[in-house]
Structure 1
Amino acid sequence: MNAEYIRNKITQLRLQKNVSEHRMSLDLGHARSYIHGIVSGRTLPSMQEFLAICDYFEITPEQFFYENNDSVNPTLLSGLIHEANKLSEEDLGLILVLVKKIISGYPGSK
């Protein structure tokens, strides 16, 4: 994992959220070119700014660096986890069974 990963991940998340670099920069309280500077490789965000970027996308830093499946929208995954935390252990078990059934039904699944 390197600076290129961070730049690419911010771009991926920004596109999933359907927001421009300009709008995201302003939303984060910076000049309109702030995000462009990051994704072009001129700079990297500070730790405080990185955490603000994660908050902006409604994900945890762990989810930002989760690279097993970049096709999964981390904001959706975060929402699912948030809602799942409200369920009983029994209901979580039922959901797990359902998810496994869905996955096993897809062609090419393990």
Structure 2
Amino acid sequence: MAAGGSRRERRKRRERPGVSHCGRKPIAHYVLLSNFTDQGIRTIRDTQKRAEAFKEKASKSGVKIHTLLWTQGKYDVVVVAEAEDDIGATALGLSIASMGNIRTEMLRAFDSADMGKILAKMA
């Protein structure tokens, strides 16, 4: 018998809606585009400490931060993250925005596999 059960058992696991072939929920990707507020600029020397606190808060809320970058241009900070659902990601975004140091725009992002599913559903 193959690792992970019979072929039929593996197929059943793949076919369950909302559950990946590994038995876990699919992961959603997010891009957060942030700008410092006046308060955030006044306390800019604390930005690295705030970033570490943000990563800890994200981890506790089930959001994995892949990348956090300070940038030049239209946005001051860009974050790439993943979460199991929009609710956890949105709660994290609102939580950090409520501190008053940044304003954040959150974008739901799609990897190649998700984009393939989207294209397959097009009429």
Q: Could you tell me the TM-score, scaled by structure 1's length? A: 0.26
Structure index of larger Rg: 2
- Higher RCO structure, 1 or 2 (CA under 8 Å, sep 6+): 2
Query: Structure 1 or 2: larger strand share?
Result: 2
Q: What TM-score do you get using the length of structure 2 for normalisation?
A: 0.24
